[in-house]
Amino acid sequence: MIQLKNSAQISTMMDAGRITGEALLLARERVREGVTTKELDTVIRNYIEKCGAKPSFLGYGGFPASACISINDEVIHGIPTVNRVLREGDVVKIDVGAFYKGFHGDSARTIPVGKVSEEALKLIEVTRQSFFDGVEQMKVGNRMGDIGNAIQTRVENNGFSVVKRYIGHGIGHELHESPDVPNFGTAGRGTRLCAGMVLAIEPMVNVGTEEVYEMADKWTVKTRDHKLSAHYENTCALTSEGVIITTLVDKSW
Ligand code: MG
Ligand code: MG
């Protein structure tokens, strides 16, 4: 069942979202060659806890860290460790959640480490654009398929592929709620959108094949062809006045 949120609940979700977004901004400042993914995770955890919130992912289904940090051909759910060191030319995906006063925020970004390839820059930008194409369709009376179709169209028109095995989701008291938010679909089809819905819209975009697989650690998801993947996610609340992107702290990012 879809849990619609009232304006007081959305206001609390804006606080959870702001903390989530600020944690990501702090992590971005620390991204450079030589930094371990564990260091980034610690920065994120410390900031979230300093705000009086809890990292949503820590312990979720047994996940052992506060952020999912995935590099290059890793799509999502990478586990931060002291052995994983960022290298010039890498693209690093950081996915963060914060739980505050009973509500979650969920947001992800893809960050270049130093100088990266033209293809990587294009992938990062197209993935970001596809998110905003999706948000543009997040209107009262539209359908879920309008969002997915807009995302898929942007991605495929640029020669990339949309990951279909993993999708966005409703969010609120629970990190993952109904409804499903696929990054693909048919315009005019699917769940009708209404005020009070809060959705984590999160395109995962691959340079090559859309096929992915889970590694032996039971978490990390990689592209089948080991080509690059990018991720961009925000928590978005639909109100009668329009969409509030709760986790978008830096409007240009
Ligand atoms: Mg996320
Ligand atoms: Mg999510």
Which residue(s) pair with 99 in the sheet?
A: 54, 104
Cα–ligand 1 centroid distance for 194 (angstroms): 22
Q: Would you place residue 92 in the very low, low, confident or very high pLDDT band (cuts 50, 70, 90)?
A: very high
Q: Strand pairing of 234-239 and 103-112?
A: unpaired
How high is the pLDDT of residue 224?
98
- The fraction of the chain above a pLDDT of 70, given in percent, is 100
- Average pLDDT of the chain is 98
**Among all ligands shown, which has an atom nearest to the Cα of 23?**
1
DSSP sequence for the chain: ------HHHHHHHHHHHHHHHHHHHHHHHH--TT-BHHHHHHHHHHHHHHTT-EETTTTGGG--SSEEEEETTEEE-PPP-TT-B--TT-EEEEEEEEEETTEEEEEEEEEE-SS--HHHHHHHHHHHHHHHHHHHT--TT-BHHHHHHHHHHHHHHTT-EE--SS-EEE-SSSSSEEEEE-S---TT-SSBP-TT-EEEE--EEESS-S-EEE-TTSS-EEETT---EEE-BEEEEEETTEEEETT--STT-
What is residue 182's predicted lDDT score, i.e. its pLDDT?
Answer: 98
**Where does the pLDDT of residue 152 fall: very low under 50, low under 70, confident under 90, or very high at 90 and above?**
very high
Integer Cα distance of 20 and 33 in angstroms = 24
Q: What pLDDT sits at residue 18?
A: 98
| pLDDT tens by residue, 108-144 | 999 999 999 999 999 999 999 999 999 999 999 999 9
Vertex 82: Cα angle to 77 and 87 (nearest 5): 80
Pairwise CA distance, residues 166 & 163, whole Å: 6
Whether residue 248 contacts residue 16, with contact meaning beta carbons closer than 8 Å, is answered with: no
223 Cα: distance to centroid of ligand 1 (angstroms): 18
pTM: 0.98
Give the residue-averaged pLDDT of 17-43.
Answer: 98
Q: Which residues have CB under 8 Å from 69's CB, separation 6+? A: 37, 40, 41, 78, 79, 80, 84, 92, 93, 94, 95
Give the closest ligand to the alpha carbon of residue 97.
Answer: 1
| pLDDT at residue 216, as a whole number | 96
Pairing status of strand 198-201 against strand 234-239: antiparallel
Gap from CA of 106 to ligand 1 centroid (Å): 5
Q: What is the pLDDT of residue 214?
A: 98
Using alpha carbons only, what angle is made at residue 147 by residues 143 and 149, rounded to the nearest 5 degrees? Answer: 105
Q: Taking residues 212-241, what's their average pLDDT?
A: 98
**Interval between CA 200 and ligand 2 midpoint (Å):** 5
Q: From ligand 2's centre to the CA of 202, what distance in Å?
A: 6
Distance from the CA of 151 to the center of ligand 1, in angstroms? Answer: 17
**What is the distance in A from the centroid of ligand 2 to the CA of 228?**
20
Mean pLDDT, range 150-156, rounded to an integer: 99
